[in-house]
């Protein structure tokens, strides 16, 4: 426990606050304060509108907001930094048990969003509107153009639902906009549905429970490590992007030879390309297409691509369509983008 002491006198207190401050201080009272400056063993403290200097023998203090508890008021004012209570062994066990419980009953929100979307038209009519609203909230794209945008999205992510309910906040971020609250509400509606409890309704209730467990797990991890926020959102396009770009460097007697491999998934099929560039500024580009439709599209653009390469004022440019996918040079050394210097 760090103790800060100081002999108060009238010159260090605002005249209009002196009497009220001294009269209001009681042993055990918690004060919100801030450390404004640290100079050796002298610490400049602000409590309310009063700024005064305290002495301490403890190192490692930092400026910023703190909470102080009053240890004594006479003849010197003695303040101690109020430390966060250490979790007892039983508290730790409760948290770990809760983490284990929710860990086995959760899955990523992106997967839950996809499955609920597939179930939407199979659910009773009374469940479709609330699920549609829930999916819109879940798929809302991450927007962080300003600090307030990110703050609002974090506030409605479900991480702080219980805090909002406890404090009764009315700052516009009501529980109705909270993701965890919406999942809890939808789960209750699904369980109380007066219609036939078909397989789709039961699965929707189960998926809601898994989403609640996922958010609760993030809350528990946030409590354990407040410096790391587990914030999850569903991507607007769940399709996996399989495009690949790889750089390789091959050493030769005439210098380094660079190779670039490009794999693209297009609407007409897969395209694979190998581009080679040597120390003498000769460029070779081979393109393989998965089918004739894609091949004809690329063939119609070969001349345009050739002109673009020639505009780089290279020694020579060679372009052609390949009958089979290009192979990577076994002797080539794979190079990361961060290691390429231009």
Structure confidence at residue 49 (pLDDT): 72
Taking all residues of the chain, what is their mean pLDDT, rounded to a whole number?
A: 77
Pairing of strands 282-289, 316-321: parallel
Q: Using one digit for the tens of pLDDT, what is the confidence trace for 102-139? A: 888 898 888 898 899 999 888 888 899 999 999 888 88
For residue 193, give the 3-state DSSP assignment: coil
- SS3 assignment, position 265: strand
294 three-state secondary structure? helix
Q: What is the pLDDT of residue 59?
A: 66
Q: What is the pLDDT of residue 142?
A: 62
* CATH 3.30.750 holds for 244-339: yes
Q: CA–CA separation, 130 vs 136, rounded Å?
A: 10
pLDDT at position 236:
52
**Structure tokens given for 125:** 């009519």
The one-digit pLDDT tens for each residue of the chain (342 residues) are 344 444 444 444 444 444 556 566 778 778 778 888 888 778 887 877 777 777 777 666 777 777 778 887 776 677 777 765 555 557 778 888 888 888 888 988 888 988 999 998 888 888 999 999 998 888 876 655 666 777 788 888 888 888 888 776 545 455 778 899 999 999 998 888 755 568 888 899 999 999 999 999 988 888 887 756 766 655 555 555 566 778 788 878 888 888 888 888 888 888 999 999 888 889 999 999 999 999 999 999 999 988 888 888 888 889 999 999 987 655 555 554 444 443
How much is the pLDDT for 265? 84
Alpha-carbon torsion 70, 72, 76, 80, what sign? negative
DSSP reduced 3-state for 172: coil
Predicted pLDDT of residue 328: 66
Angle at 12 (CA atoms; ends 10, 16), nearest 5 degrees: 60
Per DSSP, the three-state class of 261 is strand
d(CA 138, CA 109): 8
Q: For the chain, which residues make up each domain, given as ranges?
A: 3-81, 89-224, 244-339
| Exposure on the CB side of residue 14, measured as CA atoms within 13 A | 10
Report how far apart, in Å, the C-alpha atoms of 126 and of each of 122, 203, 329 are.
Answer: 11, 16, 60
Q: 193: buried, middle or exposed (CB in 10 Å: 19+, 13-18, 0-12)? A: middle
pLDDT for position 342: 37
């Amino acid at each position: 426990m760090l103790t800060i002491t100081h002999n108060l006198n009238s010159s260090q207190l605002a005249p209009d606050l002196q009497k009220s401050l001294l009269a209001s201080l009681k042993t055990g009272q918690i004060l919100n304060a801030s450390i404004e400056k640290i100079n050796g063993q002298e610490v400049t403290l602000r409590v309310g509108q009063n700024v005064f200097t305290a002495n301490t023998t403890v190192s490692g203090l930092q400026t910023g907001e703190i909470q102080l508890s009053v240890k004594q008021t006479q003849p010197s004012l003695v303040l101690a930094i109020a430390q966060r209570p250490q979790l007892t062994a039983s508290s730790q066990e409760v948290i770990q048990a809760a983490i284990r419980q929710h860990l086995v009953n959760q899955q990523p929100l992106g997967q839950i969003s996809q499955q609920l979307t597939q179930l939407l038209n199979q659910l009773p009519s009374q469940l479709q509107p609330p699920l549609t609203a829930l999916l819109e909230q879940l798929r809302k794209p991450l927007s962080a153009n300003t600090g307030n945008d990110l703050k609002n999205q974090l506030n409605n992510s479900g991480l702080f639902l219980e805090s909002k309910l406890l404090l009764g906040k009315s700052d516009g971020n009501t529980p109705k906009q909270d993701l965890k609250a919406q999942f809890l509400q939808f789960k209750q509606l699904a369980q109380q549905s007066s219609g036939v409890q078909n397989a789709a309704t039961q699965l929707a209730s189960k998926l809601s429970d898994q989403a609640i467990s996922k958010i609760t797990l993030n809350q528990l991890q946030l409590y354990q490590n407040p410096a790391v926020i587990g914030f999850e959102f569903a991507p607007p396009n769940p399709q996996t992007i399989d495009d690949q770009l790889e750089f390789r460097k091959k050493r030769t007697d005439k210098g380094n030879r660079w190779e670039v491999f490009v794999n693209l998934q297009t609407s007409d099929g897969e395209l694979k390309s190998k581009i080679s560039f040597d120390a003498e500024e000769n460029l070779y580009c081979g393109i393989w297409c998965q089918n004739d439709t894609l091949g004809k599209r690329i063939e119609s653009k070969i001349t345009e691509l050739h002109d673009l390469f020639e505009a780089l004022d290279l020694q020579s440019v060679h372009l052609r369509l390949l009958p089979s996918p290009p192979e990577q040079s076994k002797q080539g050394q794979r190079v990361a983008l961060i290691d390429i210097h231009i």
